[in-house]
Chains A and B, each alone.
Chain A
Amino acid sequence: MMPIIEFDNVSFSYGENTLLDGLDAEIHAHDCIALVGRNGIGKTTLLRLAAGILTPDSGKVRLNNAPLPSLKHREIARSIAFVPQNVEIPFSFTVEQFVEQGRTPFIKMFGGLSATDREAIERAMELTDTCSLRSRIFTELSGGERQRVKIALGLAQQPQLLLLDEPMQHLDIGRQFEMIDLMGSLRKQGITLFASMHDLALIEGVFPTVWLLSQNEAMRQGSPQEMLQPKVLEDAFNCPPRHRPRLVEHTRNRMEFAI
């Protein structure tokens, strides 16, 4: 099966700082991948490369077999939605107006929103359970609500692949579980997910696949059981001695309790 996104020998660096070196990986339809690694290792960079916001220094990123630079942003945005960590808007747009922006790649220069666009917007708000927030002002929402509305904007693009940059950040434990439920239901809808995750305790039970970025080493892929082992994490996160991260068993109990 043809991958949605293919990273082919991708390297990227900011000045002297090499983040990715010869990365090979593929994202297929119905995948649900958590991207982990220590701060500054290049998680957001990898997401941006997948969205065509950044271009690799060498190597190719392909979307449905077409190299990203050969596609217009409009075309990419119809297949890939990138939900950034922070969105700051200076004006008081309502939630509905905010989600409408997800239709931008489909609107003609002088056109307005069509019935198809409206349907996509409604569907996105239903999936994220944000219909009741419709007339609220985006900037006045709580962190959890804001996160769901941002995902609604991404879903309004009707993408093949949804990229989430730290979707759990700044959420309290209750809102984190809401977000886990939301991701579960998105998966059931057949939406392909690729999310950078800071909190490792939230991965198991939601994401069947983990991509682990570590310094001076090729990226590793595997199940949460394989990737979230204390030894693996200790190396990847460069933990100080005597602080062995023991996540898996601990988390499994916690998650079973939660779900």
Chain B
Amino acid sequence: MVSEVTRAQTSVAHRKATDRRQHLLLACLIALLLLAMMVAAGMGAVPVPLGLLAKSAVGLSQLSDDQRTILVAIRLPRILAAALVGSGLSVSGLLFQGLFRNPLADPYVIGSSGGALLGASLGVFLLPAVSIAGFGTTALLAFIGAVGSIVLVYWLASVNGRTPVVALLLAGFAVSTMLSYSSYFLEVLDHDFGQGMHVLSSWLHGTIAQPTWPQLAIVSGMLVLGLIGSAPLARRLNTLALGEEYATHLGISVQQTRIGVIVIGSILTAAAVALGGLISFTGLIIPHILRMILGPDHVRLLPATALAGALFLVIADTAARTIIAPAELPVGVLTAFIGGPFFLYLLRKARREVQL
């Protein structure tokens, strides 16, 4: 009897310790994200010292008009955009990994970014007149493109409810390449639109464009919607890890969960692609690192992934626009350099642990 009581206490203590670790991590991530955004706001051709920024934020000091204009019209939108893109890609990566029961899934790798890109390009080239706030249709078409490509890849790659690594990667690669290059095709068709071409080229390289405030509002709305929608999916994804048949027996509707993940994941991918184009591997790295710290419980991973993704891309984008100033590196190039080797490392590890 004594041992039973002790066991229960150990269990409670252990769980509390895990909860504490999660809360500490979330607090750290919020603090780091705010700090990174402040530092990023100060960096660039016209530096704004961190101290001055902090003082002006609490009303102790005034920024010059130039500094204010640069911050409000250029840097803050860009930084917020990076945060939204990072968050969207990471959370959709987490959801897809849960759905595919495969830690290598990522919106870029499985082709949903490519689908979103093609949808968004259609919006820019063919329907510029019907756009709402210059952006509404683009985001909507990006969403439709993302859903279409995932459904296609899922259908191609799944064997008896499982998606083997090789099948997933090959199907994702093929679909993603086809879709991305279809966007080039649009460019050739429609070379009168100089603006469209510029947008497309920055999307293909994964550059976070200079967004307007209404654009940011739309994407923020999509992100919030996506995060709220992910919450009830997270626990189901834990159960789905046991396999579709077992999850069904335990009362999870696999079909509903699948549709939920595809819709929510596509909203998040579309939001990210509409602002930043093809940014690779972010959705792969961030959930993986957090899984090493917090374990595979999707309920715990969700908020941490959203914050860490934002932090990662704010830092990466700031580095991308300052490393070779005055020129700018597309942030997609940078994440490919960091994420590519990481992806290969995971692939090797997966080959050793799970037979392909």
Contact = CB atoms under 8 A, between A and B. Distances in A.
Do A and B actually bind? Answer: yes
Nearest to B238: A101
Interface stretch (A104-112, A236-244, A246-254): A104-112
A175 interface: no
Given A92-B296, A93-B296, A134-B14, A87 B242 contact: yes
Contacts of A131: 7, 11
Contacts of A109: 232
B248 A53 contact: yes
Contacts of B70: none
B251 A90 contact: no
Contacts of A110: 231-232
**Which of the four size classes fits the interface of chain B?**
20 to 34
Interface residues of A, number: 35
Contact of B101 (A74, A90, A97, A157): A90
A73 B245 contact: no
A131 B7 CA distance: 7
B7 A126 contact: yes
B250 A122 contact: no
Nearest to B98: A91
Classify the secondary structure of B's interface with A.
Answer: helix
B354 interface: yes
B241 A89 contact: yes
Interface in A92-131: 92-94, 96-97, 101-102, 104-105, 107, 109-110, 112, 122, 126, 131
B241 A105 contact: no
B45 to A, nearest CB: 45
Contact of A104 (B232, B239, B295): B239
Interface in B217-241: 231-232, 235, 238-239, 241
Given A91-B103, A122-B8, 11 more contacts: A84-B246, A87-B246, A90-B101, A92-B291, A93-B241, A97-B297, A101-B242, A102-B250, A104-B239, A110-B231, A126-B7
Give 9 nearest A-B pairs by CB, closest first.
A74-B251, A91-B296, A104-B250, A105-B251, A73-B251, A90-B101, A131-B7, A89-B241, A77-B251
Interface of B: 4, 7-8, 10-11, 14, 101-103, 231-232, 235, 238-239, 241-243, 245-252, 291, 295-297, 299, 354
Interface of A: 51-53, 72-77, 82, 84, 87-94, 96-97, 101-102, 104-105, 107, 109-110, 112, 122, 126, 131, 134-135, 157
